[in-house]
Structure 1
Amino acid sequence: MKQAQKLVTPVLEAFAQNAKRGFASQRFAARASEEVVAVDNAARKGCDGVLEVPSRLLMGPGPANAYPRILTAQALPLLGHMHPPFLKIMDELSEGLRYTFQTKSKYTLMVSGTGHAGMEAAIANLVEPGDKVLVGNAGIWGERVGILSRRYNADVIELKTPAGTTFSYETLKAALTQHKPKVLFLCQGESSTGTHQSLAGLGEVCRQTGTLLLVDTVCSLGGVPLFADQWGVDCIYSGSQKCLSGPPGASPFFMSERAMEALQKRKSPPATYNLDMNLIGDYWGWFGKRSYHHTGPVSTFYAMREALAIVSEEGLEKLWQRHQDMHHRLWDGLRSMGLKPFVEKDEDRLITVNTIKVPEGVDWAAVVKHAMDTYSLEIAGGLGPTAGKVWRVGIMGFNAKPQNVDLVLTAFQDGLKRQGKL
């Protein structure tokens, strides 16, 4: 007993000495060879106390405000990422995505990450070095897919169209016939320009040329019609924080049987481990028994389960119509002030992210600032090819309501009057 006491006493004395100094300023040496150094407390007060954030109405290009039910879901107790109750939630997410994408494919899941993660997952899994990728560049998102594809050593062929316009079926068919690419990329809802790209008939042409049809629906999923199977789309990625009104951090993702077959026939595995759909698919149960790949963002998946449940409860037809109605309400008011759409053709105009021409002599940034300072209301300026030329107003998900649209109109009216333009 005395021998044990002799061994323990030095440790207790060292512990007591460090306790007197305070653990906030000393690190207890676990090994004799380690030097005890002082903790740098300079940044300690930079993150303490209870978090508070301002309440704002987010009517820009995204994120949109979330339904209260979705916010509440994120406060539910955490589950382990392989616990059966959580795996059941993942199954419900897959089923909800099948409804939202309008597909019978079993290859649906939420990528752990934002829309950019979904974008990279699509390119990394579908494209091998040297593959031809035909990129429809109608704005910043087509531009980024081109950049990303080159980083995966693809042979990128870019089709460009002036900002505010879309690609005709004839133009795309001719390019597909000429180049016969492995992948055709199109952005259904180009939020930088406010255009809505038609996908009609392209799936059939892609099958004739042996091409996979890849579509970005980040700001269109849930806001405008999408029929993955009927239109012959092979891969889709989207965002959680736009028309689905969830928190940022999850990317709805879909692959057709054709896309999965192409993935299985690759000469080499995808050059990414984190976004390899063979491995992520195992986690989501695509191939039978599940296996661990990564820790899914548990609370975000809770939120997205609720987001997809809300879509199902409202029904896609009503959801699409609500977005259409609010788009018309917005433009009825904007036109009464003399404001004009950036996208000239009605059929090319995106209803979820509206681009409004800035009149000559108007300080667009002052209008944006007035909206935020006076109404805690976010509207945005242009992005990429529209920077300094337009305002962008998002009407998405939970925010697609008459009172929100009317507040946007009030903010524009006030902002223009302050500059003597009304």
Structure 2
Amino acid sequence: MTAAAQINPPTRLLMGPGPINADPRVTRAMSAALVGQYDPSMTEYMNETMGLYREVFQTRNEATMLVDGTSRAGIEAALVSLVVPGQKVLVPVFGRFGLLLQEIGERVGADVVTIHRPWGEVFTPEEIEDALKEHRPDVVAMVQGDTSTTMNQPLEGLGELCHRYGALLYTDVTASIGGNTLLVDEWGIDAATAGLQKCLAGPSGSSPITLSERAVEVIRSRKHVEAGIASEDEAERGERIASNYFDLGMILDYWGPQRLNHHTEATSMLYAARECARLLGEEGMAEAVERHRVNGAAMAAGLDGLGLQRFGDQAHRMNNVVAVYIPEGLDGDAVRNGLLQNFGIEIGTSFGPLHGKVWRVGTMGYNARPDAVLTTLSAIESQLRLAGQSVVAGGGVGAALEIYADAGLR
């Protein structure tokens, strides 16, 4: 067997749309000793994690827990558990991750109907209500914050609207939670799933989820066979959830007082997820959102100060990521690579119709702080100069400092 060197990754400042640098307190928590999955200390950590994420989601939902896997694991678990094959699912698409919900909905056998807004815009409640009237879906599945476009879809009132037409509301809040207001109970959201790798300041690999009583009732009404075996008739009728690993009914029983064995909990990731939520609770959810707002505004103003033009409807931009057009004649990938090689800073491009047309710069989680913002703006200025771009000296840092001064930061 060929010997491999010890892992020694380069030091990077991750200022793209995610993942970001995990908070050091989170990575320290991940190094804590492993215990058995039914050790009293482990089950107590699970209970604590559930309580902490109720605060993060701003909910009283008893069914608040973790799905082991990246944020996409949470999405798949929600859709495969909530949707019976043949049911109608409405997906309002305003970016790449709406298209992902469409694809997963189709994979679980749903009759998926989509409505679309141009990338850089969001939906009005009237547009969603018109689609509810026309299609009468069983589930509405939509993204709150779509990092591909940087847009933040308003969700206030949509839960009540969906319920009026007999639909559940599911939302993917991976990119938005922790850095933008999310009020699961107040907004009537039936299911929400997230990931740690953005505003929650952790690594990818755990997906927090919360489910309303209405959603749990739907999940409990379906077949959950412990051995993963059901009759062909049950499978054909869609009564049995098509996944064992992502069967939320079984996962609920694992996290609940019965502690029915389902899988072996990813202990180190649970430690990470717990610490992410603990830190947010210590800071306060409103305070965390405000921190992301101020640092995101400073980054956006700094990019303006460098002569870059923002993309999209700024009234509905997420606090934690901003997209700017790549100046004409500039090789956007070369500039990004220069930032990485010369300064150890990563920013992103985008997907689909925006690929190669915009850069996306994030200020989220542990990196939503002034020193990270100012360092990044200074590096972007230098790299633009190296690429032959005319830039106002200190224009980015100066504009950001004005935002910080207005916010009372020195």
Common fold, TM-score beyond 0.5? yes
Amino acid at match of 2:367: N
- Which residue pairs with 2:97 in the alignment? 141
The residue matched to 2:76 in structure 1 has which SS? helix
Task: Quote the Cα distance in structure 2 between the aligned partners of 1:192 and 1:412.
Answer: 20
Task: Quote the Cα distance in structure 2 between the aligned partners of 1:55 and 1:313.
Answer: 28
- Which residue pairs with 2:241 in the alignment? 270
- Which residue pairs with 1:209 in the alignment? 165
Task: Quote the Cα distance in structure 2 between the aligned partners of 1:174 and 1:300.
Answer: 42
- Which residue pairs with 1:303 in the alignment? 272
- Which residue pairs with 1:3 in the alignment? none
**Within 5 A, what are the aligned runs for 1:124-163?**
124-163=80-119
The answer to whether residue 405 in structure 2 is matched with residue 405 in structure 1 is no
- Which residue pairs with 1:239 in the alignment? 195
Please, which runs of 5 or more residues in structure 1 have no aligned partner?
A: 1-40
Superposition deviation, residue 375 in structure 1: 1.2
Task: Quote the Cα distance in structure 2 between the aligned partners of 1:333 and 1:98.
Answer: 35
The answer to whether residue 347 in structure 2 is matched with residue 379 in structure 1 is yes
Task: Quote the Cα distance in structure 2 between the aligned partners of 1:337 and 1:61.
Answer: 20
- Which residue pairs with 2:251 in the alignment? 280
Deviations 1:86-145 (A, max 9, x none): 111111110111000000010111100001101100110111111000001111111111
Amino acid at match of 1:405: V
Deviations 1:176-211 (A, max 9, x none): 121110111111110111111001211111111110
Sequence identity percentage: 40
Task: Quote the Cα distance in structure 2 between the aligned partners of 1:167 and 1:210.
Answer: 20
Runs of 4 or more off by more than 6 Å in structure 1? none
Superposition deviation, residue 269 in structure 1: 2.2
Superposition deviation, residue 353 in structure 1: 2.1
Q: Based on CA coordinates, which of the two structures has the bigger radius of gyration?
A: 1
Q: Count residues in correspondence.
A: 375
Please, which runs of 5 or more residues in structure 2 have no aligned partner?
A: 223-237, 391-410
- Which residue pairs with 2:31 in the alignment? 75
Task: Quote the Cα distance in structure 2 between the aligned partners of 1:318 and 1:192.
Answer: 26
RMSD: 1.1
| 1:326–1:402 Cα contact (<8 Å) kept | yes
Task: Quote the Cα distance in structure 1 between the aligned partners of 2:190 and 2:204.
Answer: 24
Task: Quote the Cα distance in structure 2 between the aligned partners of 1:289 and 1:152.
Answer: 28
**Match among 355, 379, 385 for residue 417 of structure 1:** 385
- Which residue pairs with 1:185 in the alignment? 141
- Which residue pairs with 1:318 in the alignment? 287
The answer to whether residue 122 in structure 2 is matched with residue 166 in structure 1 is yes
| 1:340–1:356 Cα contact (<8 Å) kept | yes
- Which residue pairs with 1:34 in the alignment? none
| 2:23–2:201 Cα contact (<8 Å) kept | yes
**Match among 299, 312, 329 for residue 330 of structure 1:** 299
The answer to whether residue 61 in structure 2 is matched with residue 105 in structure 1 is yes
| 1:134–1:181 Cα contact (<8 Å) kept | yes
TM, length-normalised to structure 2: 0.89
The answer to whether residue 359 in structure 2 is matched with residue 360 in structure 1 is no
Task: Quote the Cα distance in structure 2 between the aligned partners of 1:318 and 1:417.
Answer: 36
Task: Quote the Cα distance in structure 2 between the aligned partners of 1:97 and 1:274.
Answer: 21
Superposition deviation, residue 52 in structure 1: 1.6
The answer to whether residue 75 in structure 2 is matched with residue 119 in structure 1 is yes
- Which residue pairs with 1:389 in the alignment? 357
Task: Quote the Cα distance in structure 1 between the aligned partners of 2:47 and 2:241.
Answer: 25
Task: Quote the Cα distance in structure 2 between the aligned partners of 1:178 and 1:98.
Answer: 34
Amino acid at match of 1:272: S
Task: Quote the Cα distance in structure 2 between the aligned partners of 1:51 and 1:346.
Answer: 41
Amino acid at match of 1:330: M
Task: Quote the Cα distance in structure 2 between the aligned partners of 1:185 and 1:153.
Answer: 14
Deviations 1:37-94 (A, max 9, x none): xxxx3xx22x3x4322211111111111111111111111111112110111111110
Task: Quote the Cα distance in structure 1 between the aligned partners of 2:84 and 2:341.
Answer: 49
Amino acid at match of 2:352: G
Task: Quote the Cα distance in structure 1 between the aligned partners of 2:221 and 2:262.
Answer: 21
Amino acid at match of 1:245: A
| 1:370–1:411 Cα contact (<8 Å) kept | no
